Copies of this chain bind each other. A is one copy, B any other.
Amino acid sequence: MANLSAFALNCSLKPSPASSSSELLLRQVLDELARHGVSGSLERLVDHNVKPGVTSDEGEGDDWPELRKRILAADIFILGAPIWIGHPSSLAQRVLERMDAFLGETDDMGRMVSYGTVAGVAIVGNEDGAHHVTAELYQGLADVGFTIPPNAVTYWVGGAMQKTDYNDLEETPVETDQATKMMVRNIIHVARLLKENPYPGDPDE
């Protein structure tokens, strides 16, 4: 059976080495993927200079081309995002904007460069917004060519107007742990199927 690889991108607003709740959750996802034999790596977007824009290369100093290469080389892409004001972080939206270019990057069968990759999301906030951020990211990712299995999300949020962060918790909540496991099972299943059976595309494109 084909070996699978994963790439996780953390859209926290805080540069390394500051502690990041979304990074903690992404590492738990990568650990669970590893338990299934999937190798993976992780980057924090804010540590790189990803310029504003909607092309695949915004010129001198732009770090996106290298990150883009790693996303597209992976069978599984996990987008990790904190919630701010109830929305995906500005850096998660930055990633979607740069992926807008995929819409024009198709092969002679009309398939985007991202058609071979399955996506999942990992979301943290201190109180609210996980479902909305999931909706924004699923639609954005599926629009630019990724496949979304059922329950392709793991998340944690606290109660209304609370201040505790995910990385303040003493242990992983069982609900989040189960969501991570379910996400990983489903994503691996679809990634294996797509690796051996690519989307057909259309010769008339």
Instruction: Determine whether the beta carbon of B147 is less than 8 Å from that of A150.
Output: yes
Contact partner of A127 (CB less than 8 A), chosen from B86, B143, B157, B194, is B157
Q: Does A110 contact B (CB under 8 A)?
A: yes
Instruction: Determine whether the beta carbon of B85 is less than 8 Å from that of A144.
Output: yes
Q: Does A128 contact B (CB under 8 A)?
A: yes
Closest Cβ of chain B: how far from A2's Cβ, in Å?
14
Which 3 pairs of residues, A with B, have the shortest CB-CB distance? A86-B131, A135-B139, A132-B132
**What 0/1 pattern do residues 183 to 203 of A give for CB contact below 8 A with B?**
001100110011001011110
* A54 contacts across to B, CB distance below 8 A: 13, 84
Q: Which residue of B lies closest to A202 (CB)?
A: B185
Closest Cβ of chain B: how far from A40's Cβ, in Å?
20
Q: How far is the CA of A17 from the CA of B153 in the complex (A)?
A: 37
Contact partner of A100 (CB less than 8 A), chosen from B85, B151, B173, is B85
* A65 contacts across to B, CB distance below 8 A: none
Q: Does A159 contact B (CB under 8 A)?
A: yes
Enumerate A125-146 residues with CB–CB distance to B below 8 Å.
127-132, 134-136, 138-140, 142-146
